[in-house]
Structure 1
Amino acid sequence: MKNLESAISSFLMEIDSDYYSEVVVAKSVYWFSGDYTVSVAKGTDCYTVIFKRKEEISDIEKRTIETKFMQYLNDNKAREIIEKETSSIKNILLVKALAHGIDTNDELISKLLNESDV
């Protein structure tokens, strides 16, 4: 019995560029680059992501790729948000950890150390 699902060698997805940053898209594309040739073009309000392969891509495989790609986008978006929200805390912890043996009379170091006491 012949499979009646259609098959293609490439397809595209449009990704909202207001919500997903270029870094998030690039990190997500990375995970597909081993199996597909993936290209990204930035338009005015979206990224166009094109997945290509020499062999045909079935409808089922296309849906799987779309689902996994959206999971990677959302995962990387969450990581980006966490990085932004915790970067000052990480810097304060780093300064505190390295403060032993440095000149705490230095104005910048003193300011950073005092910020962490808040």
Structure 2
Amino acid sequence: MEIIANSGELLQFSVQSEIYAEAVLFKSLYWLTSRAGFEVSIPHTELFLVSVKPLGEKFSNEEREDILAKIRTNLVDFKVRDIINQETTLVRSMILAKAFAHADLPEVRQEHPDSHPPEQKLSKPPYD
């Protein structure tokens, strides 16, 4: 994360997309939306440019530093979660497959309940 602007009216920094996936970046920012406004752009394929603006008039020095610290922490947190998710996907799929291998589950229709005309509305769910 490279800081580009750091004032009371604007915090701006870049994040390398090779290190942090778009989902990781947005999850990191989401938890701070009650404290600031965010805008993300992609000026180059390898960079995200993040602009952070105060919800009020200006950021105090403490607010700026706290927001930047939380963004750094969140980036690491969600990056680690992403790595763990990628590493455990196969194991989770195997556990679910084994858990439901012998289950006799009813077939569920993929039909939306509101797709029937009003006079033909079903009184119970459209599956057996």
List 4+ stretches of structure 1 deviating above 3 A: none
Task: Please list, as runs of the form range in 1=range in 2, the aligned pairs for 1:1-118 lying within 5 A after superposition.
Answer: 8-44=8-44, 45-53=46-54, 54-101=56-103
What's the CA shift for 1:7? 5.4
Q: Which has the higher helix share?
A: 1
TM-score (structure 1 length as normaliser): 0.75
Percent sequence identity over aligned pairs: 30
Q: Which residue number corresponds to residue 114 of structure 1? A: none
Deviates more, 1:16-25 or 1:53-62: 53-62
In 1, distance between residues paired with 2:20 and 2:64? 21
What's the CA shift for 1:60? 2.5
What's the CA shift for 1:64? 1.3
Gaps of 5+ in 1: 1-5, 103-118
In 2, distance between residues paired with 1:68 and 1:101? 45
In 2, distance between residues paired with 1:42 and 1:34? 23
1:23 counterpart letter in structure 2: A
Gaps of 5+ in 2: 1-5, 105-128
Deviates more, 1:73-82 or 1:30-39: 30-39
1:71 counterpart letter in structure 2: T
Per the alignment, in what secondary structure is the counterpart of residue 47 of structure 1? strand
What's the CA shift for 1:82? 0.4
How many residue pairs get aligned? The number is 97
Per the alignment, in what secondary structure is the counterpart of residue 32 of structure 2? coil
